Amino acid sequence: MKYNRILVRYGEISTKGRNRKKFTSQLRENILEALKDLPSISVNASRDRLHILLGEADGEEVITRLSSIFGIQSFSPVVMTGRDVDEMMEAGLALVQKSFEPGKTFKVSARRGDKTFHLDTNELNYQIGSYILKNMEDLTVDVRNPDIKLNVEVRKEGVYLSSEIYPGATGMPVGASGKAMLMLSGGIDSPVAGYLTMKRGVEVDAVHFHSPPFTSERAKQKVIDLSKKLSAFSGKVNLHIVPFTAIQQLIHDQVPENYTMTSTRRMMLRITDMIREKHEGLAIVTGESLGQVASQTLESMQAINDVTNTPVLRPLIAMDKLEIIDIAQKIDTHDISILPYEDCCTIFTPPAPKTRPKREKVQYYESFVNFDELILEAVEKTEIMQIDGSSHKEENFDELL
Ligand code: ATP
Ligand code: MG
């Protein structure tokens, strides 16, 4: 069975009044971007639907990729036949067989866009329905509440049949709500925070702090792999890798041990904010969840957040670890996150970091040291990698050598 097109329903974005046009064109762009390596795809958008014309492209592959694009409520692959009733019956049977399990019910729902067609809708329903029933066991008709609804639409140019409805990723199309910088560690939380932010339509750039030789190339590769997973939801992710060793060393040497963690986070936030400004982001995103660890008390957040007025989004703030892990598993980042490569913070974490740091104290400790130059240098030496979500087959050569 060859699908001819895929019908995409918008859901949430179709309710957004004035913004709808922008959302629709963003979604269209994102779909084209995600499918750009497939031959002969085109997309037509109308008021509340969008049609992907498949041409020679493989429908199953398109279905897989569509399921991770935000802004789609649901979608249905469509088979096109000629206006010959035998052809419709065969295609209808194949579609119903695809969704069938013993005991399921079905109905045929025909529509005529072209009223000159020689059968009316009742006759079409009857002919196609009885052919399917004759060829399948354990299938019954339920016209009120069928498990499988076979839609048949007769038009001048041909007949469109569909029965399957796939759930979309919901949310809003990425890019429709501006750009933010995600502080991406190698842990479980920050990738989930990035995913949830993207789901609200925000384009996400990742910023990672790397402290060689205290952190290894493998720890960096882990963050690249996480960015790759995230890019499946947005088409691409720019990953900024900040060389952080010198600053971390200086904090370690100059700030009292129980305040090093607070100070480290403040420096990270300052640098991220500068990178944000350079790349025209509007906010910063972290994976913080209230009460999870020492740095995630309200006092600590206040002391850290002190270095910027930029909005810091914390999508996980009220979530339990188990809820976060659940999402991490769903988006396939969990197994990468739990790989045991050290990140820059674990290495320098003091045995007893302050859980209620005072803003004035950390300001005071930092006042003896000039961090500005090192911060500028770190921003300047930040490496930018473009991680592309559509190149699904790219190999990780590090693993092969
Ligand atoms: P995660 O699972 O995201 O590492 P966590 O529970 O380990 O979170 P912390 O280590 O306290 O939390 O870090 C809090 C947040 O600070 C992270 O969610 C992340 O957004 C940011 N962060 C921590 N380390 C780094 C790093 N090396 N590079 C970039 N951001 C970081
Ligand atoms: Mg962490």
**Start-end of CATH 3.30.2130.30 domains in the chain:** 5-167
- Interval between CA 35 and ligand 2 midpoint (Å): 34
Strand, coil or helix: what is 9? strand
- Interval between CA 189 and ligand 1 midpoint (Å): 7
Residue of minimum CA distance from atom 23 in ligand 1: 185
| Cβ–Cβ < 8 Å for 82, 118 | no
Residue 151 to residue 78: CA distance in whole angstroms: 9
pLDDT tens readout for residues 293-340: 766 899 999 999 999 999 999 999 999 999 999 999 999 999 999 988
pLDDT tens readout for residues 211-237: 998 888 899 999 999 999 999 898 889
Identify any residues that bridge with 123 across adjacent strands, giving them in sequence order: none
pLDDT tens readout for residues 114-144: 899 999 999 999 999 999 999 999 999 999 9
Whether residue 213 has a cis bond before it, omega within 30° of 0: yes
Residue 107 to residue 133: CA distance in whole angstroms: 10
CATH superfamily of 179-388: HUPs (3.40.50.620)
Ligand 1: nearest atom to the Cα of 190: 3
Strand, coil or helix: what is 81? strand
The stretch 35-62 carries a mean pLDDT of 89
Tokens, residue 341:
């490569």
The stretch 46-54 carries a mean pLDDT of 87
- Interval between CA 343 and ligand 2 midpoint (Å): 7
Ligand 1 site: residues with CB under 6 angstroms? 183-185, 187-190, 207-209, 268, 286-288, 292-293, 295-296, 343-345
Q: What is the pLDDT of residue 396?
A: 36
pLDDT tens readout for residues 89-99: 999 999 999 99
The stretch 246-267 carries a mean pLDDT of 94
pLDDT tens readout for residues 163-187: 999 999 999 999 988 999 999 999 9
Q: What is the largest CA-CA distance in the chain?
A: 89
| Cβ–Cβ < 8 Å for 180, 202 | yes
- Residue ranges at the known binding site for ATP: 183-184, 208-209, 265, 287, 296
Ligand number nearest CA of 338 is 1
Residue of minimum CA distance from atom 11 in ligand 1: 295
Query: To 10 degrees, what angle do helices 359-366 and 260-278 make?
Result: 80
**pLDDT grade, residue 16 (50/70/90)?**
low
**Start-end of CATH 3.40.50.620 domains in the chain:** 179-388
Average pLDDT, the chain: 90
Task: Using a pLDDT cut of 90, give the percent of the chain over it.
Answer: 78
- Interval between CA 186 and ligand 1 midpoint (Å): 7
- Interval between CA 272 and ligand 1 midpoint (Å): 13
| Cβ–Cβ < 8 Å for 182, 206 | yes
The stretch 2-26 carries a mean pLDDT of 79
- Residue ranges at the known binding site: 183-184, 208-209, 265, 287, 296
Ligand number nearest CA of 345 is 1
Residue 251 to residue 366: CA distance in whole angstroms: 8
Residue 59 to residue 164: CA distance in whole angstroms: 13
Q: Which residues contact 14 (CB under 8 A, 6 or more apart)?
A: 20, 47, 48
Q: Is the pLDDT of residue 45 over 60?
A: yes
| Cβ–Cβ < 8 Å for 327, 167 | no
Ligand number nearest CA of 219 is 1
The CATH number of 5-167, from 1.10.10.60, 3.30.2130.30, 3.40.190.10, 3.30.70.1230, is 3.30.2130.30
